[in-house]
Amino acid sequence: MPRWLGSKAQFFIISMVVILAILISIQNLFAGYYNINYSKPYDDPEDFWFWNIKDQITRTIEQRECPELSADFIEIKMITEDFLGKKGVDLIIENKTPICAGNTKVNPITIKMNMTSPNKNLYEKFNVST
């Protein structure tokens, strides 16, 4: 076998290893741009709790009718305040307007929510139209 054939094969193998190393390093350099973490939609659990409680209150007021609506609102308020209180999070839910006047809903209903935890304080005052 001629000597020059062996050196070409070595050059080919070494150049392929170098090219692969360069491509792998480029891939690793850009890996952070396409890896998406779907398991953490909110930064903190407080955000998740707060916005889900607001959504639950809004849907309950929109879907339920008086006089059961007043009892349902009080139940949501007590359960969520107790649940979060056990986790060291203070939650205050207040309705600033009466929910029911007789057997009809008041329009709009104003709700105030305040959540205080060691990490953050979330506050929102919102209206729910019935």
How does DSSP assign 5-68, residue by residue? Answer: HHHHHHHHHHHHHHHHHHHHHHHHHTHHHH---TT-SSSSHHHHHHHHHHHHHHHHHHH--TTH
Q: Are residues 20 and 70 in the same domain?
A: no
- Per the DSSP assignment, residues forming a β-bridge with 110 are 127
Q: pTM score, two decimals?
A: 0.62
- Residues 49 and 28 placed together within one structural domain of the fold: no
Based on the fold, state whether residues 61 and 122 are members of the same structural domain.
yes
51-69 per-position pLDDT tens digit: 899 999 888 888 888 888 8
- Residue 22 shares a structural domain with residue 78: no
Q: What token pair was written down for 3?
A: 């000597």
Q: What is the mean pLDDT of residues 10-17?
A: 90
pLDDT tens-digit readout, 19-56: 999 999 998 888 777 666 666 566 678 888 888 999 99
In a domain, 113, yes or no: yes
**Residue 63 and residue 24 share a domain:** no
Q: How many domains does the chain have?
A: 2
